[in-house]
Amino acid sequence: MLTQNIKPSFIQVEVFFVIIVGIIRLILDSSFITFSSDLEKVWNIALDPYKFPPVKQLYLKYFITLFIMIRTFTLHVSIAMYVVMIWPAVFADTPRLLIPWITVATLRLCIDIMTTFVGLYISLSYGVMRFLWIEFLLVQILQHGPSYYIWLTIVRYHGHLIQLRELRVKKILEEKMYRIQSKRKIKQLLLSQKERVWSGMEIDRIPISESTVNSVIDRINLKTNDLTTGSLDTLLEIIEKHKEKKDIQNDASSSTNLPNGQTA
């Protein structure tokens, strides 16, 4: 579910007010109480047999009875749907919660329209100049006009919520695309910087020829030989000095060991 802080709009306040009025209006509706008496009135009504034969009267009464039953038994369902609609009216979200009420209200509105046409048909059958149909039409407009206004408001609000949801989804997609493009730009910038660094290193690099490498190796070998020769000469000198010193010590010791009066 998409959630976003949205300031209450005029249509949102209007829908909330319409829902409260609709709940109160349906609670005060006495269709369940007068259901039996309404059916009795329909079947006890006497129409002109010349204008409405018995078979036609029977069909008309069946239709009117069906209309009354549908309106009566959808009354409590409509009240429950009104309560459900409080959530989208307050939070301007989840337009799907309006669909059940719109379905039931559309059915009730169709019943009202069909009832009005049936009543106009019966009224006009007694003559246009008797103005009975005008009185009936005014009564129907005053009775069902608020229902039509409520239905139109809720349907319009449903479309408004769908537009808001599309805008939210579009905004989220734009943010994601912006992040993706930003990441791509950063990657391109890093790659360009790497290329610049590598190109700078190639420019600053000093090429070393093969002859230079060979000369360095020869010098290292020569230096190693010099170090080895010098160390050997030093060792021979130390051995020679040690030998001379030992000979001197031997001569001295032999002279001290001779008998008195003898000389070497």
**Confidence label for 5 from pLDDT (cuts 50, 70 and 90):** very low
Q: Where are the alpha helices (DSSP H) in the chain?
A: 10-27, 35-44, 54-73, 75-84, 86-91, 99-125, 132-204, 210-256
pLDDT in tens, 79-115: 889 999 999 888 888 889 999 999 999 999 999 899 8
Provide, rounded to the nearest whole percent, the portion of the chain with pLDDT above 70.
69
Provide, rounded to the nearest whole percent, the portion of the chain with pLDDT above 90.
13
Does the pLDDT at position 225 exceed 80? no
- The whole-angstrom separation of Cα 107 and Cα 14 is 23
> What pTM, to 2 d.p., does this model score?
0.61
Higher model confidence: residue 185 or residue 21? Answer: 21
Does the pLDDT at position 18 exceed 80? yes
DSSP state of 130: G
Yes or no: say if 4 and 168 are a contact pair by the CB < 8 Å rule.
yes
- The whole-angstrom separation of Cα 226 and Cα 232 is 10
Does the pLDDT at position 148 exceed 60? yes
Closest CA relative to residue 7, chosen from 122, 94, 92: 92
- The whole-angstrom separation of Cα 119 and Cα 207 is 106
- The whole-angstrom separation of Cα 125 and Cα 132 is 10
- The whole-angstrom separation of Cα 105 and Cα 147 is 8
Closest CA relative to residue 12, chosen from 89, 124, 97, 80: 89
**Burial readout 210-242 (b: 16 or more C-beta within 10 A, e: otherwise):** eeeeeeeeeeeeeeeeeeeeeeeeeeeeeeeee
Does the pLDDT at position 258 exceed 50? no
